[in-house]
A and B are shown apart, each in its own frame.
Chain A
């Protein structure tokens, strides 16, 4: 892996310990920086395409992506640095970004900025320019700005900043060629640029000059001395650590430098700038400079350009309509998923099961032994056919719909609407966002928890992510609802009833998330919520075509692939368990029999509980495994419709209570294998992984026992 401090010693640590593989010495390294939500990753993907690989920053749980592109016979290695508002090292991300810009020995830094919000973005640009001269500003989202009647005078901006500026609309692929040309030009020439320097006022400038003169010799031009002087005056501990780590330079060990810093600070204090106001003064100057530049280059041709977004927000987040609209949207997505999945599901089932006969014939023709035919056809093929026909259609519909909502910018509004509940649970407001990510995939939700800075609240978000059902569990819920509840209602209301039940299940999941978060905050993870701010980015028209392709290719195929990988061996296991007899019963019957008493207590049966256990690697396989187990013990073989499936389940003793308890247990049981591994990686702790396993399992079991036995006691089944 990457170079480590011990293997190379301090001082020769290039690229911040990041392993960057150059094909030739002439390859250029380009760092890609920017605020969050400015389309930085679109620029990154647009330039590097599929030539990417991701890992973590050395020693940090922050994703690092690198990619390469070739332009004018030179290889460019692009390093995506974390999206930040500032480089003041307020968070791990900012520290990484600053360190890479400062010590990463990049040949150029591209800062991506949002044209619709240029002023705020300039803050990062100016801070980057303080560290390095070799900066290219890419003003992205020019198309969005044009729609909002915002005009930006790019040549003027370039001359004010003293760095190359390129306008782009990365989503439409516009401006990326120019960006590559500009980066190529900058890295190919040794010409010195003269970027704008933020003026900090007479007193601070004098102090900087004093310190700078003392450190110039020591630093030998390895980093910008003016900036280093500013940070030393600020007493930025994080930078002191990095200076020692990367350059082997510890200014506090150098008496002359320490004395000069102390003297400069004394002079500042005399001039009315005490240490605790120093950073405020510095930031104020930067922000003011941004304001001045922005006034000069940005023209709002229509002052009310943001009014439309604000009006939409007022409806989507108001006291009366905010939460109802949110639930209605959820309902709509589920309704489309359920009604849309019905037909393709039965078509797929019919199609796949009609292949069973020819495949069996093929084995016969091969004169293969019958046990082999049985394992492949009755075991592997049938399980796969179930997984694909039951799971694929809802996934292929739900994923793109959810991604569209995400692309539109609605999720931050969900967080805004729900924040009060999370605040009362002493949890972080961004947990609403990570919870939403969990709908797609809990492992993604857990990784998403990185957006939460506070370790306590991040852990709460990780531990409770599993309470929202992921895409792999939706089809299980949908299948059971369709079989047991919607069937009793005829006609057009069928899908409405199904959708209502599914929406109710999700609301229960959200309620449990809040309840458990609150419980954790009061017990093992005591503490108050940390302060945070949530940006509500402008709505963006989603790119429908791209979203569909991306969500089907990236997500659906991936998840389905994983399910198939698990389902095939699971099919073999079930077939073997069902066909090898010990005494009078098959092993499957023995296992189920063993689990049965406890499972009955939960309102389930032994086969269902075993399906959940065997489904640990992928939740998608739970219902297919139940079906396979029942079929292995029963006589029915021809199952092509939900009503026949329903019969199969009823014949094995299912009542509406079994259905309810299976749904509850599906909503609340251990996280899948992938999620557990992800939690292990994210928390770096076996203990918290076990806790994250135990919490939903115990909660689910307790609720199932309560529901099952209350219903039985009341004699309702």
Chain B
């Protein structure tokens, strides 16, 4: 497995990846932690909104829409 580190907003639709780092801080970081976004969490990019931003992700059994300013602060390692 090649360790291909990308920001979550770069993850193509339909692909899954595991979180390797959270670069946000403050409120945004805490919100992500509340949703269970921690190192190792699997996230699947589900679909884009009509304009391409936000994007809906599948995170621990829930569908969560994130704007790109939030998702670019989640680093995932794409398998």
Chain A residues close to B by CB (< 8 Å): 85-86, 88, 90, 116-120, 123, 279-280, 283-284, 287-288, 290-291, 306, 309-310, 313-314, 317-319, 322-323, 416-417, 419-421, 423, 429, 453, 529-538
Contact = CB atoms under 8 A, between A and B. Distances in A.
- A-B pairs, top 10 by smallest CB distance, nearest first, are A420-B51, A322-B50, A536-B63, A85-B34, A534-B65, A283-B33, A86-B34, A531-B28, A117-B61, A284-B38
A436 B64 CA distance: 20
Given A280-B33, A423-B53, A306 B58 contact: yes
A536 B65 contact: yes
B72 to A, nearest CB: 11
Given A420-B49, A537-B63, 13 more contacts: A117-B60, A280-B22, A280-B38, A318-B48, A319-B51, A417-B50, A419-B67, A421-B51, A532-B70, A533-B31, A533-B32, A535-B64, A536-B56
A123 B34 contact: yes
A310 B47 contact: yes
B49 A531 contact: no
Contacts of A429: 54, 65, 67
20 contacts: A90-B30, A90-B34, A120-B62, A123-B34, A284-B33, A284-B38, A291-B60, A306-B58, A310-B63, A317-B49, A416-B49, A419-B51, A419-B54, A529-B67, A530-B27, A531-B31, A531-B70, A532-B67, A533-B31, A537-B62
Nearest to B51: A420
Interface of B: 22, 24, 27-28, 30-36, 38-39, 41, 46-54, 56, 58, 60-67, 69-70
Contacts of A88: 30, 34
Contact of B47 (A317, A537, A538): A317
Contacts of A287: 33, 36, 38, 41
Contacts of B62: 117, 120, 535, 537
Contact of A119 (B38, B54, B61, B63): B61
A290 B46 CA distance: 23
A497 B14 CA distance: 41
Given A287-B38, A420-B53, A120 B47 contact: no
A318 B47 contact: yes
A637 B19 CA distance: 73
A417 B49 contact: yes
A49 B32 CA distance: 36
Contacts of A322: 49-50
A90 B31 contact: yes
B50 A116 contact: no
A290 B36 contact: yes
A287 B60 CA distance: 10
Contacts of A123: 34, 36
Contacts of B53: 419-420, 423
Contacts of A453: 27
Nearest to A300: B61
A651 B64 CA distance: 57
Nearest to B25: A276
A90 B49 CA distance: 28
A88 B53 CA distance: 29
Given A119-B60, A284-B39, A287-B33, A419 B65 contact: yes
Contacts of A532: 31, 67, 70
A419 B49 contact: yes
B27 A531 contact: yes
A351 to B, nearest CB: 47
A314 B55 CA distance: 11
B79 to A, nearest CB: 18
